[in-house]
Amino acid sequence: MNFYAAQDNAKKKTKYLVLLYVLILIVLTFLSTLVLMLVLPVVTGQSLATNFWQTLFTEQNLPTLLWVGAFVVGGALISSFVKSRHLAKGGAVIAAALGGSKLSPNSSNMNERKALNVVEEMAIASGMPVPEVFVLRQESAINAFAAGQTPQDAVIGLTQGCIDKLSRTQLQGVVGHEFSHILNGDMRLNLRIIMLLHGIEFIALLGRIMTSSRGSSRSSSRSKGKGNGAIVLAGIALRVIGWFGILFGNMLQAAVSRQREFLADASSVQFTRDPDAIAGALKVIGGVTETSRLKNTEVSEVAHLFFGQSFHTRLAFLFATHPPIDMRILRIQPGWNGEFLKPQTVMPVESEPGKDDRANTPFQNLPEPLAMLLGAGVLIDQLTDNSQNALGKLVGKAQDPLEAIALVIAILLCEESDNPQEKTIWKTFLAESSIKGLESMVKEQVELILLINLANRLPLVELAMPALKTLSANQYQDFKQLLHGVMDSDRHQSIFEQSVFQLVTRFLDVHFGLVKAPKVRYKNAKQIAMELQLILSTLAYYGQNSDEANKTSMDLAFKRAVTALGLNHLQRIEIDDSHQNLFRIATEKLLYCSEVLKHQVVSALVVCVEHDGQVNEVEKELVLAIAATMNAPIPRLSL
């Protein structure tokens, strides 16, 4: 199948469904306003209007009509806002509410290690730091979910059945599917739909309040009795309107979810480069008794977050949040013979260090950490045996919080100098750190990094992220001060150093609650033209040698990029050391772009580095770092 065409088709259908969703909200608001206008005279002590329709839109009643409409809309917005505050706490809160428990990066359980390694692999492949992994231990069905509003607070959730019953390759397909939800903005769309549905419930809530008032104001007065009856009838009408609103809302929510599932399936194939991965997982789900339905978790509100259908419904064509399993398989493998697969047998609880179920993978002869990096698109096959051993040790150390701190610092020190071991400045401030033994840990990791001729070190930083999230708030503040000290030790901050710092702090600041979610400020490339001019000039500069012969190539790369943004009038800037700090400020500003503009900027970055038909490692890592820091990570394998 044409997976790019499938992605475009799913996105177009989603737009139409969301538009229909908005129209239904408008109709519900209008009907609710009419009902309230009908009983308003009774509430104010007047008699019911006999000429209601003739006087509804008169100049005299128009202000009242607008106020009542504003009341309905305001109540729905407040209800949505309250729900949004809960959802804004991050993916970890949602995962915990579902009964998930966080997997330790140091777990020795073989299946858990498999899951952690696959998530790490997919994170590096997608160009974003590794998210936390939660497991629903009480669920034997095969399912998974991604939760959160942004890549910074995203988590991956897996059921125990998913971890135990799927092979490594099949699990890659499932996790790749969930990562596509993160990168395609599906998490944010899903949470917004939950907020809208919660707003619709306000109409039904208002109806319940009005119907419950009949017993609170009994009177022998015939007129008051009629008035109370009218209020109760209006309450019943609002409850019916709210019920139909929730009904249609759930139908549209399910329809949107089904389209996004097709999109995520197609994206998963691009991540794994293997249609059999996700198709195999779907075939296992179709062949087991439990399928993907959860029995011990309340999922009615978040069913659309999952990989597969998580609840049973007799009206699947209306309320199923996921397409039928066989339809999803046929979209990926049109020639499928209809046969399902059996789940793998449960593996031993404890694993031997450096081993997992890679017997049938192309990386079966590689140690586990190196297989994971190679599978994610990091080129390590040209490393010597000593270099591979050193790299394996570094990956292992990234799982410990304090060693992860040392790893990031060591990477920056190796960027600072070709002979970091000879410099004594960093040893002084590390010795003064409150983290005991940090100096010796950094020294050991510097020695390991120097043994490795690895062009792209950014994946090591991304791997350290789960361990860094387990730091205390005070440890994180000390860590940030250490990063500043390392970068300022030579009174010069390189582009790579700034990219690493932004990548680490952008994600961890959100995790530790130090920053709020950024609000959109820029929707047009012209609003950030100067920043784009600097960033694209820098990218063109690092993609070529600085001699005169390559200036023409730099100009061509820059011109193609700005043309893609509709900024043809911009000219390339000659980059020197004075632009280092300006580059940091410019990339920070990109965080406040709209989602559409971010997509345009990322596309322009890719055009810039691909203008000559080849992308070197410096260009690749710089593009990935810029994209990740602006909350728009892109797959490493696509470059």
CB 604 within 8 A of CB 532: yes
CB 292 within 8 A of CB 308: yes
Tally the C-alpha atoms within 13 A of residue 459's C-alpha that lie toward its C-beta: 31
Mapping DSSP onto H, E and C, the string for 458-486 reads: HHHHHHCHHHHCCCCHHHHHHHHHHHHHH
| b/e code 283-297 from CB counts within 10 Å (16+ = b) | bbbbebebbbbbeeb
**N residues, the chain:** 639
- In whole angstroms, what separates CA 174 from the centre of its chain? 15
- Give the three-state DSSP class for 288: coil
How far is Cα 513 from Cα 508, in angstroms, rounded to an integer? Answer: 8
By DSSP bridging, strand 144-147 and strand 155-159 are: antiparallel
Residue 530, token pair as written in the block:
């100067």
Residue 514, token pair as written in the block:
């130090």
How far is Cα 459 from Cα 449, in angstroms, rounded to an integer? Answer: 13
How far is Cα 252 from Cα 106, in angstroms, rounded to an integer? Answer: 42
Residue 90, token pair as written in the block:
């991050």
Residues 5, 9, 10, 12, Cα dihedral to 10°: 140
* Catalytic residue chosen out of the listed positions 178, 261, 415, 531: 178
- Measured at the CA of 529, the angle between CA 528 and CA 531, to 5 degrees, comes to 70
How far is Cα 320 from Cα 413, in angstroms, rounded to an integer? Answer: 53
Whether 178 is catalytic is yes
Beta bridge partners of 157: 134, 145
What residues act catalytically?
Answer: 178
